Amino acid sequence: MPGDDEIRVELGQRLEGESPLVEARMRDGESRLVDRLVVIEEQVEVDRSRPEARALASPSERAFDGQEGVEQLPRRERRVDSRSPVQEPRLVEVAHRVGLAEGRHRDDLDSLRRVQRRDRRAERALAFAEVCAEADVGAGHHATLTVRGYPATLARASIALSLLALALSPSALAARAASPPPATPGLLSIGAYERTLVQLERGSLAGEGGTLVSPAQKIWVLPTRAAQRVLPALLARGIVRAVEPDRPIELLRSSAEPLIGLEYWRALVGADVATAPGPGKPITVIDTGLDVTHEEFASRPNTILLGPQNLSESDDEFHGTAVSSVAAAPENGLGVLGVYPQAVLRSVDVSGLSVANVIAALTEAMRAGPSVINMSFGVPYTRLLEDTLLIAFRTGSILVAASGNERQERTAAGPPGNLAHVLTVAATDQRNEPAVFSTASLGVDLAAPGVDIPGAVPRFVTSSGYAALDGTSFSAPIVTGATAWVWTARPTLDNTQIFELMRSTATDVGDEGFDRDTGFGVLSIPNALTSQAPPKDPSEPNDDIRHVRAGGLFRTAVAPITAPNRPRATFRAQLDVTEDPEDVYRVFVAAGRIVRITATPDTDVDVDVWKSSASSVFLRGTARTRNLLATSGKDGKAAERVSVPNRTKRGFYVYLDVYLPRSGSLDARYALTVATVRP
């Protein structure tokens, strides 16, 4: 457990002087493409997470003894102005790195540096035959629904829109650091909401009216009044890991004409010059329910409903049907043609539009097996949701999210699109220019057309059953369908390789290189099919110690890169300031031996080695001094070298952290060598 000398921040200190967080909502009846906002102030209380329990060290993995005399290598200090707003939300600050504490906004990094990303284009193209041989909405999300005739004259109609401000709770930013148990702050934060999310160490809340939404994480949702009644006793027993309000999510809006000739976007992404494969890697659409009575889906093969699909004649209910049609409408001679017509299409209904329902939907998607998961919605930040997304990525899925539609308001992108290990999609128009509504962000990975996208909608929305869709909600499923297509054509690649392939092979538009409007460029299916595959990025997500140790985010520890029977390891990996800012590995140090570690980057990385007692790579002050074994922070492409000796008679494990220094590049690739040698 963390010592008393580790940094503590009390609730009162964190809230002192802070202005209320702001929630913005659309006015009913406003019908512009990008509507005006009415600001509604809402006070949000800060929540703090419980310290993570750590199992006692086994004989082969005991805690490192500070008296064993490990050398501390000199490093340069890379301090940041303490007045920087980027540092302010941290519970435990580390001035020399750019790794994002959980819940921090990826756009915060813009104020730190404006370094251009380097060119990530594949070095060579493979022959197409060679490839074949390989076995929106929410905070920042809204769009218009343009109803059109079938095929009658164009007629415009509007749907009132609402959006939720994505306020990042300061408590979420502390998740990478040790902190006191969740007591009063958790209770204060839930009063304004009807339901509450509670994560337990053990036990059940079924008797209190709770519903288990994630068995693996032991997350329950229950009425807030019941939560307020039972939580004090549960907190006193020390079995509560987290308490969060079950906040609402918001969906994007949209519309289509039933003619493939209107699908201009197919040529822009190269869907017209390659033939999509048969059923392969599944697509999972987490959204409102799918209208299985619609002609596009009534007899569509390989359409799997993961739970009931609840449709009501409300403004939101067309959304899931429209998103699914853009990704996977079949080639049936009717209205529209999806990106991947024969895809295995899974649909999970989150019509309740709350964080608990999204967690439950992600859990259901994982239970069905790895897939490409589309999220065309926005949510407030919660650690429980972020953890669920990380688990989905670790278990083999690829997560795709819309960036948002608040370009003109200059609203920053929010979750899930601004979280690490999520492929974030912006929108472009017919000229490959940024759509007038598409949110610009450092976290944007690539773009796809999102203006006048034909899609299927329930007939209670329009009698034709089709509409023209505007919004990043409909750019995202184009990328989702393409990602499943490419993964099916290249089945030997894992999710980390496909994730990077879709970004790095995009067609550069606008200013040369990466930009906040379109990321690495506009989706290119032919490039993704024929470009050389990037290397695997092992052990992802491994952005902090709790991601790799037993009993942290995952029940079992990540396999160490060296072990008693494996004294040496060599591999390549990569870092990205928004998608993968840290790589943390477990390393075994044999009795009477020295482990020598060398990281050779193509730009600049730094290296830290931590004791097995460390709770996070973001420790500071005396906690950092007590737990840090070795560090190296040379400038530029110089190799980083550290050594960890073991002068005892028993082996132990340490944590190796490779990360991007704050003053360095926005991404890096590196070769890592770990060797066990005699003194």
Cis ω on the peptide bond leading into residue 541 (within 30° of 0)? yes
Beta bridge partners of 584: 657
How many CB atoms neighbour CB 202 within 10 A? 7
Secondary structure letter of residue 260 according to DSSP: G
C-alpha triplet 643, 649, 652: angle, nearest 5°: 55
Give the separation between CA 274 and CA 489, rounded to whole angstroms: 11
DSSP label at 414?
Answer: -
543 is catalytic: no
Q: How far is CA 113 from the centre of its chain?
A: 22
Catalytic site residue from 47, 107, 108, 287? 287
Between the CA atoms of 308, 314, 319 and 320, what dihedral angle is there, to the nearest 10 degrees? Answer: 0
Q: Please state, in angstroms and as integers, the Cα–Cα distance from residue 291 to each residue in 104, 147, 287, 300, 420, following that order.
A: 37, 18, 12, 12, 32
Cα 198-200-204 angle, rounded to 5 deg = 90
Relative to beta strand 398-402, strand 372-375 is parallel
3-class DSSP state for residue 657? strand
Whether the Cβ atoms of residue 246 and residue 193 lie closer than 8 Å to each other: yes
The yes-or-no answer on residue 4 being catalytic is: no
Selecting among 319, 354, 464, 524, the annotated active-site residue is 319
96 labelled catalytic: no
If one counts every other C-beta atom within 10 angstroms of the C-beta of residue 449, the result is 25
Measuring CA to CA, which residue among 262, 351, 273, 249 is closest to residue 307? 351
Whole-angstrom Cα distance, residue 520 to residue 542?
Answer: 24
Q: Looking at 49, 171, 473, 665, which residue is catalytic? A: 473
Structure tokens belonging to residue 335: 């209205």
Q: Residue 559, Cβ neighbours under 10 Å: how many?
A: 12
Question: 581: closest CA among 503, 677, 659, 638?
Answer: 659
Give the list of residues 6+ apart from residue 149 with CB closer than 8 angstroms, or none: 155, 257, 464
Q: How far apart are CA 161 and CA 35, in angstroms?
A: 8
> How far, in Å, CA of 108 to CA of 589, rounded?
37
Supply the residues annotated as catalytic: 287, 319, 473
